């Protein structure tokens, strides 16, 4: 028996052949962006690998191995167990309610002893897999039927409701957008999205009543950061000062005054892009954004080249998730949207976010490896 059959792959492909078929340029782009993150975390610790850079590099190494294992695993295995993975994600979200602990004012983590897991990050991948599995089993001419959209709407609404309870409004909105993107790529008509958006806008006054005080304060601060520059507006005010002070070429590596004099809060996580802008200026920011654009282009290209619907939807869903991470974080630190606590992919310090992101890249590369695999549609 060929080694490739151990993973359920096509008989003619061994693990070695699959590894040769991996999109190594995409892997190099991922490593390049992560290296920028290592450098910025080194700078954030004032020229020390501890406490952030060393841990981030160790997690990245482990995540890279997991990414390659997932990439060479037959994509049909993920199709078969997509609903199981989604169910496990829901169980983890419920576990947050039962045994989760509070961190940074919210109950979002489950302590596994050796690792602190944030189930909402896992759920982002699980949701994409489940939706891709669902629409893979529906004929294109049937996708427009309203009764067939009830289940995917529930698949999106249930985890979103659990995430909002943590509370984590930013992640909940991101999950809704990713779910909507998968539905759109699957073929759901635009007028249905228009109805959903109109309903959401009409529900804003009702939803406002359920927002926490700090969430309302963030929106007020977004509309007028100067109303409380030393309180609620402190983060975004300092972020804009650091962004502007970097100029075109920046102040130099580890020479940022706002970050190294502790004016810039959360410089190793949410506001790490601001520190990059201060030290490397507009040139450094455009360089990082250029790397992100290349990764996004690869993601879209992989989705387009996939000959099976499951792989196509999974690739587009994961690429959309990555894009939203990048867009929301950069828009947040530049004051274009309210502060919602979304990390900068592969750059911000974080365990679960980094690992789940690399796992999602594993699924994406797996779609590329199995791009010519034709998978018959299965019933929902």
| DSSP string across 106-139 | EEEEEE-SS-EE-HHHHHHHHHHHHHHHHHHTS-
Residues in the chain, total? 380
Output the pLDDT for position 346. 95
The residue behind tokens 């596994």 is 112
Q: Which pLDDT score, from 0 to 100, does residue 86 have?
A: 97
**Burial profile 70-97: b = 16 or more Cβ within 10 angstroms, e = fewer:** bbbbbbbebbeebeebbeebbebbeebe
Q: Are 243 and 333 in contact (CB under 8 A)?
A: yes
pLDDT for the residue 2:
40
Measured distance CA(209)–CA(198) in Å, rounded:
19
Q: Which of 217, 215, 239 is nearest to 228 (CA)?
A: 217
Q: What is the pLDDT of residues 357-374, one digit of tens each?
A: 999 999 999 999 999 988
Strand order, beta sheet including 116-117: 101-103, 106-111, 116-117
Distance CA 258, CA 333 (A): 14
Spell 174-209 as b/e; 16+ CB within 10 A means b: bbbebbbbbbebbbbeeeeeeebeeeeeeeeeeeee
pLDDT given at position 289: 97
pLDDT of residue 252: 92
So what's the pLDDT on residue 359? 96
What confidence score (pLDDT) does residue 201 get? 73
Instruction: Say how far apart CA 349 and CA 36 lie, in whole Å.
Output: 12
Give the start-end residues of each E strand in 173-258. Answer: none
* pLDDT score recorded for residue 113: 65
**Is 51 strand, coil or helix?**
coil
Residues of the chain with pLDDT under 70: 1-12, 100-108, 112-115, 203-204, 207-211, 214-215, 218, 220-232, 378-380
Helix axes 351-369, 24-44, angle to 10 degrees: 170
Strands (E), the chain: 101-103, 106-111, 116-117
Q: Which residues contact 107 (CB under 8 A, 6 or more apart)?
A: 96, 97, 100, 101, 166
* pLDDT for the residue 42: 96
Residues 291-318 have pLDDT tens digits of 999 999 999 999 999 999 999 999 999 9
In this structure, is the dihedral angle defined by the CA atoms of residues 320, 325, 329 and 330, taken in order, positive or negative?
negative
pLDDT computed for residue 103 by the predictor? 56
Distance CA(285)–CA(278), nearest Å, equals: 9
Look-up: residue for tokens 């991101």?
174
- CA 74 from centroid of its chain's CA atoms: 23
Confidence at residue 100, expressed as pLDDT on a 0 to 100 scale = 63
**Beta-strand pair 101-103/106-111:** antiparallel
């Amino acid at each position: 028996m060929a080694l490739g059959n151990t993973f359920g792959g096509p008989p003619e492909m061994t693990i070695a052949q699959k590894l040769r078929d991996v999109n190594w340029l995409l892997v190099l782009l991922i490593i390049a962006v992560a290296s920028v993150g290592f450098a910025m975390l080194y700078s954030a610790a004032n020229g020390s690998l501890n406490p952030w850079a060393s841990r981030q590099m160790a997690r990245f190494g482990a995540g890279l191995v997991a990414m390659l294992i997932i990439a060479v695993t037959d994509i049909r295995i993920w199709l078969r167990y997509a609903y199981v993975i989604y169910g496990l994600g829901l169980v983890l979200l419920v576990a947050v309610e039962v045994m989760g602990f509070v961190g940074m004012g919210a109950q979002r983590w489950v302590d596994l002893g050796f690792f602190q897991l944030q189930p909402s990050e896992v759920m982002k991948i699980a949701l994409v897999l489940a939706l891709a599995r669902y629409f893979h089993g529906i004929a294109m001419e049937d996708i427009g039927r309203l009764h067939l959209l009830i289940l995917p709407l529930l698949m999106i609404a249930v985890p979103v409701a659990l995430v909002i309870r943590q509370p984590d409004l930013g992640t909940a909105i991101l999950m809704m957008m990713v779910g909507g993107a998968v539905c759109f790529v699957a073929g759901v008509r635009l007028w249905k999205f228009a109805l959903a958006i109109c309903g959401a806008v009409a529900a804003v006054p009702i939803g406002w009543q359920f927002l926490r005080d700090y969430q309302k304060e963030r929106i007020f601060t977004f509309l007028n950061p100067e109303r409380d520059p030393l309180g609620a507006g402190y983060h975004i005010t300092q972020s804009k000062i650091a962004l502007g002070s970097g100029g075109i070429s920046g102040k130099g590596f580890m020479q940022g005054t706002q970050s190294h004099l502790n004016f810039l809060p959360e410089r190793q996580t949410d506001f790490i892009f601001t520190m990059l802008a201060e030290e490397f200026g507009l040139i450094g920011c455009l360089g990082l954004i250029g790397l992100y654009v290349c990764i996004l282009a690869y993601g879209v290209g992989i989705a387009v080249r996939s000959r099976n619907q499951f792989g196509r939807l999974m690739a587009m869903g994961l690429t959309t998730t990555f894009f939203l991470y990048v867009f929301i974080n950069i828009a947040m630190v530049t004051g274009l949207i309210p502060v919602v606590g979304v990390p900068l992919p592969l750059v911000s310090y974080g365990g679960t976010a980094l690992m789940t992101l690399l796992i999602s890249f594993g699924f994406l590369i797996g779609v590329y490896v199995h791009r010519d695999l034709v998978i018959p549609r299965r019933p929902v």
